């Protein structure tokens, strides 16, 4: 009987030993901490990382988002003329690409405004005013086409439309890049900076394409 108990105790000891957790290796690699817009990233030791506090959006962020919706709305309005007025296939294709990319971007920008309890913008409004203060005149925006320019584009067709569309849209895109430069230097919201960078990449590519079409 004693022998049996001894075996059980010994077995219990073996079980206890096998259940001990092995030493878990620690990660000694430094942690890279991204900086705020305009600041360089830094590194810290493992274990020192804390959640990065993000600055709340400032006026420059909100103004950029609201203005970019209005700016995009005019670009889409111009692009929607191409199917019935343009003569060149590549101009029609570019116009489709612009409309297809900027419509969802307007929705995304409005969702950002909603998330931060800021007035949204209705791009379908006659003045593109929505919650943007009801200002009908946006010609002070960089690259924004005035009423006479829009009337000329609407009246044009064929090769004349192609040339006018490419010229106006190139200027329009260049204006958007100016707006992006302004929010890069004056904004604080990380998400807005990311959106601005994405828009810049797309529109720089399209500017190069349009200049190539004009020079062909």
Counting as low any pLDDT under 70, the low residues of the chain are 1-42, 44-54, 126-137
Cα–Cα nearest to 133, from 61, 57, 58, 66? 66
Q: What is the pLDDT of residues 21-74, one digit of tens each?
A: 455 445 556 666 566 666 666 676 665 555 556 678 999 999 999 999 999 999
What DSSP line would sit under 90-112, residue for residue?
A: HHHHHHHHHHHHHHHHHHHHHHH
In a domain, 108, yes or no: yes
Q: How many domains does the chain have?
A: 1
Distance CA 150, CA 168 (A): 9
CA of 58: how far to CAs of 37, 64, 65, 163, in Å? Answer: 13, 10, 11, 39
What DSSP line would sit under 27-62, residue for residue?
A: P-SPEEEPPSTT---EEE-TT---PPPPPPP-HHHH
pLDDT of 92: 98
pLDDT of 133: 37
In a domain, 3, yes or no: no
In a domain, 50, yes or no: no
In a domain, 5, yes or no: no
Please name the residue that has the structure tokens 């609201």.
Answer: 66
In a domain, 143, yes or no: no
Statement: the pTM of the whole predicted model exceeds 0.85: no
In a domain, 34, yes or no: no
User: Which residues constitute the domain of residue 159?
Assistant: 59-134+148-215
Distance CA 197, CA 71 (A): 16
Task: Take residue 152 and report the two structure tokens written for it.
Answer: 């000329």
CATH label of the domain that carries residue 174: 1.20.1260.10
Biggest alpha carbon distance in the chain?
108
In a domain, 206, yes or no: yes
In a domain, 29, yes or no: no
Phi-psi region of 122 (alpha: psi -120 to 50; beta: other; left: phi over 0): beta
Contact yes or no for 143/71 (Cβ under 8 A): yes
Burial class of residue 96, CB neighbours in 10 A (0-12, 13-18, 19+): middle
């Amino acid at each position: 009987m004693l022998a049996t108990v001894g075996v059980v105790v010994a077995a219990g000891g073996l079980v206890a030993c096998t259940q001990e957790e092995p030493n878990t290796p620690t990660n000694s690699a430094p942690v890279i901490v991204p900086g705020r817009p305009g600041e360089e990233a830094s590194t810290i030791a493992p274990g020192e990382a804390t959640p990065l506090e993000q600055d709340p959006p400032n006026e420059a962020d909100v103004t950029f988002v609201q203005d970019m919706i209005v700016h995009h709305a005019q670009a889409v309005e111009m692009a929607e003329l191409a199917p019935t007025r343009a003569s060149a296939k590549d101009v029609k294709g570019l116009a489709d690409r612009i409309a297809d990319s900027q419509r969802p971007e307007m929705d995304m920008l409005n969702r950002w405004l909603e998330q931060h309890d800021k007035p949204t913008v209705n791009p379908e409004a006659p003045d593109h005013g929505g919650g943007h203060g009801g200002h009908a005149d946006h010609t002070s925006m960089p690259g924004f086409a005035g009423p006479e320019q829009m009337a000329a584009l609407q009246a044009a067709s064929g090769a004349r439309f192609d040339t006018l569309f490419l010229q106006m849209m190139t200027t329009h895109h260049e204006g958007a890049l100016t707006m992006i430069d302004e929010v890069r230097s004056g904004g604080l919201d990380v998400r807005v900076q990311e959106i601005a960078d994405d828009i810049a990449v797309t529109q720089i590519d399209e500017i190069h394409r349009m200049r190539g079409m004009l020079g062909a």
